[in-house]
Chains A and B, each alone.
Chain A
Amino acid sequence: MSYELIGITVLWIFLYGYLIVASIDFGAGFFSYYSRITKKKHALHHIIQRYLSPVWEVTNVFLVFFFVGIIGFFPDTAYYYGTALLIPGSISIILLALRGSYYAFATYGAKDSHLYSLLYGATGLLIPASLTTVLTISEGGYLAVDNGNVTLLYGELFTSPYSWGVVFLAVFSVLFISAAFLTYYAAKAKDQQALEVVRKYALSWAFPTITMAFIVFFLLGERNELHFSNMMDLWWMFALSLASFAASVWLIWKRQNYGLAFIFVMVQFFTAFFAYGASHLPYLLYPYLTIYDGFTNESMAIALIAAFIGGLLMLIPSLYLLMRLFLFDAEYLEGRK
């Protein structure tokens, strides 16, 4: 495998990690707000707090890892995306900042307010919508480059069906992933009342998610034929994704093995996300930038990969400890610790 491929694979794995852990967090914020206004608060509030409080900071690092890593491996992305994304990027920063700090203020400052809860719920949907613009733009046709000046074509971005399709897909997926995880978590915590609520959420968001996935798939065909035909070559990965989706919904429907159901959800997104990513290659940005011409020098690449391996050796045991204490410790889950 070439350094370029190793680099992009590492980054994509972290982005996938962010997709899962952040979706859980974003969706939880929305559900917690929704259950508040529909007066089901007591049922959900507890499990959401128990899970999120120790891990929210870790979630954020996944994202930081991706955008710092991409500058390290592919410095030219800073030039193209950095110049074009000033406004959407800044909006994402502001939303992330409000979300993170207000979560901490509400949780540790121990004041429960309607405003905090609204902020937490609303940003949970707006952040995925704003972050996915980057993926949309990468398909090409949304940027103008003339003699060294990169500008984003806002008119094109806001009127294209594809970009709206991606936004809706992102939001629905967030809600589905989150509800599937919370179903598992509530079952582990033996919290029947919460389980009933989140299980219903999981089932009701499953259908919109998969429908939107099909719609976006075909909209992409109109937007970027090259990418679309590469995706068709990887049809078996998308088929695997669809099968995993069906398996997870079936398990949740039958009230069986929620843990396995969530693993199927993870497989569903893993296969789709990697099939999307693999077929996107070699382009980082159609048609301007590929992983080969935007790559860093060789010694930096080796240093980064070495640092990455060293870092992983340190992180995996630590993450394992975190999960053991807060995710798989029955007494903690049931609120006895």
Chain B
Amino acid sequence: MFGIENDPVLLSRLLTALTLGFHVIFATIGVGVPLMIAIAEWMGIKRNDPHYTLMARRWARGFVVTVAVGVVTGTAIGLQLSLLWPNFMQAAGHTIGLPLFMEIFAFFFEAIFLGIYLYTWDRFKSKMRHFLLIIPVVIGASASAFFITTANAFMNFPQGFDMANGVIANVSPLEAMFNPATPTKVSHVIITCYLTAAFILGTIAAIHLLKGSKHEYHKKALKLTMVSGAVFAIATAVIGDLSGKYLHEYQPEKLAAAEWHFETETHAPLILGGVLTEDNEVKYALEIPYALSILAGGLPDSEVVGLNEFPEDELPPLWVHYAFDMMVFIGMYLAFVSTLFAVMSWKKNWNPYNKPLLIMVAAGGPLSMVAIEAGWIFAEVGRQPWLINGIMRVEEGATTSDHVGLMLALFIVLYTILGVTCAVVLRRMFKQNPVEHELEKRGIEQPKRVSNE
């Protein structure tokens, strides 16, 4: 079938993409949601409003289930990197062993405090003490994203070592970690985790309101998530722009592939959508004049390097254009929706809880996850054919084992089972214990009586 059975390189790529693509769903939630929990718990204390405290509590309860899948898929990718890319890990061990090692410490730290946080809700007299326990979780989660992303940044811009006759020498681990790709990559990844978490929780609140609930709790949740979402979305766009400038300077072939930009020129237009013909002509696309030059260099007359400058066999596949467009489009959409919501709820007399806006918010959660996937696919496929940019090609890093195909099949089954069960469990958890019910049970609200009693 498909003639790929015995190509360990291709199969390893597929399996890596599958595991990472699945892991990143839970990893993103894992990095972003603790921050949202912390914000909600803090609001609960500051405003002395039990709704927010309950929000933190319910989010945390859902969070543990997703963390579990994050942990097991993370363990899978950690082992799989050695199993599928033994030569890469052999080289990487010499250069980026440090951030990988430190990532585990960050997890350790996070795991310990998460365990404590979850089981101590009513154990301390002071609410502040309990709030303080979520801080190490937020720090640990973001730190782990930081470390793993520096490893990925190294793959994009390797530095901090010398290569002499195929042997790595004079290694400087810190220089390898803090390479030119690190600032934009790390900040973009972390901020988009926050953004996605805000939107996913916003989606849940919006769906409750759309289904007819009028409860104050959901309105508060929506407002909290959308106002923070607006901040994160704007920051995402700004840092995304800086990421474009990084690419322009250090990985121009990736940017050119994203933009189907063939001739080196100034005043380059940004191309949205479209199709590419046999002889590399762009059709049916929307062109924004000068926008690519501005994205790349900040000014309309910045010169943008084109694909024709590079050897044919060192170019990434050009379909990454669509992944890039999708990410940018969704980014704009999220910024628009959350800002609109924030403005409407800030103005008196305007009702932000109208149906069209709620529907737009509800779409935001799934879309932001699509943007995460699209962004990573663009970033990783856009690095092809290099595994470590300019140093090691993908074929050189892969395993030579003949059994990767079988493993791919096994893991497809595994992730299907995990994904489905996770969704079912989460649904059941919250269906069985709706907010109204829990508010009564905890004595925050009186049971509702029939009104004309």
Contact = CB atoms under 8 A, between A and B. Distances in A.
Interface stretch (B170-178, B189-197, B270-278, B346-354): B170-178
Interface size classification for chain A: 35 or more
Given A55-B115, A58-B111, A304 B98 contact: yes
Interface in A65-90: 65, 67-69, 71-76, 78-83, 85-87, 89-90
A304 B400 contact: no
Interface stretch (B74-82, B220-228, B380-388): B74-82
Most B-side CB within 10 Å, residue of A81, A90, A319: A90
A72 B97 contact: yes
A46 B270 CA distance: 62
A37 interface: no
Interface in B40-79: 61, 64-65, 67-69, 71-76, 78-79
B69 A101 contact: yes
Interface in A102-123: 102-105, 108-111
B144 to A, nearest CB: 11
A57 B108 CA distance: 9
Interface string A234-248: 000000000000000
Given A93-B80, A108-B429, A318-B113, A297 B168 contact: yes
A297 B429 contact: no
B142 to A, nearest CB: 15
B428 to A, nearest CB: 6
A111 B120 CA distance: 22
B112 A58 contact: yes
A100 B111 contact: no
A82 B107 contact: no
A110 B78 CA distance: 29
17 contacts: A57-B67, A58-B108, A60-B71, A68-B101, A71-B100, A79-B86, A79-B89, A82-B399, A93-B79, A98-B417, A101-B421, A104-B67, A104-B68, A104-B69, A108-B425, A108-B429, A304-B97
Interface stretch (B243-251, B299-307, B364-372, B402-410): B402-410
Contacts of A86: 83-84, 399, 401, 403-404, 407
B75 A63 contact: yes
Given A60-B75, A67-B82, A72-B97, 9 more contacts: A53-B119, A63-B75, A79-B86, A96-B76, A109-B65, A111-B425, A300-B97, A308-B101, A319-B112
Nearest to A80: B86
Interface in A170-210: none
B65 A105 contact: yes
Interface stretch (A28-36, A214-222, A265-273, A321-329): A321-329
A81 B107 CA distance: 25
A78 B111 contact: no
A71 B89 CA distance: 7
Interface of A: 53-55, 57-58, 60-61, 63-65, 67-69, 71-76, 78-83, 85-87, 89-90, 92-94, 96-98, 100-105, 108-111, 149, 151, 296-297, 299-300, 303-304, 307-308, 310-311, 314-315, 318-319, 321-322, 325-326, 337
A101 B87 contact: no
Contacts of B75: 60, 63-64, 93, 96-97, 100
Main SS at interface, chain B: helix
A139 B67 CA distance: 37
A96 B425 CA distance: 19
Main SS at interface, chain A: helix
B94 A93 contact: no
Most A-side CB within 10 Å, residue of B67, B101, B114: B101
Contacts of A297: 94, 168-169, 171
B284 to A, nearest CB: 44
A296 to B, nearest CB: 6
Nearest to B433: A110
A75 B90 contact: yes
Contact of B429 (A83, A102, A110, A304): A110
Given A104-B65, A315-B105, A94 B414 contact: yes
Interface string B388-403: 0000000000011101
A39 to B, nearest CB: 27
B108 A65 contact: yes
Interface size classification for chain B: 35 or more
A314 B431 CA distance: 39
A193 B101 CA distance: 44
Contact of A68 (B68, B78, B91): B78
A76 B104 CA distance: 20
Interface string B104-136: 110111011111101110010000000000001
Contacts of B123: 325, 337
B411 interface: yes
A310 B109 CA distance: 12
A76 B90 contact: yes
A69 B101 contact: yes
A131 to B, nearest CB: 11
A61 to B, nearest CB: 5
Given A64-B75, A83-B401, A314-B109, A57 B115 contact: yes
A158 B168 CA distance: 38
Given A54-B116, A68-B78, A105-B421, A307 B101 contact: yes
A308 B102 CA distance: 8
Contacts of A303: 98, 173-174
A64 B119 CA distance: 24
Nearest to A100: B72
A61 B411 CA distance: 22
A83 B399 contact: yes
Contact of B94 (A75, A83, A87, A108): A75
Nearest to B427: A109
A136 to B, nearest CB: 18
Contacts of A104: 64-65, 67-69
A58 B79 CA distance: 17
B114 A101 contact: no
B422 interface: yes
B288 interface: no
B120 to A, nearest CB: 7
A96 B77 CA distance: 12
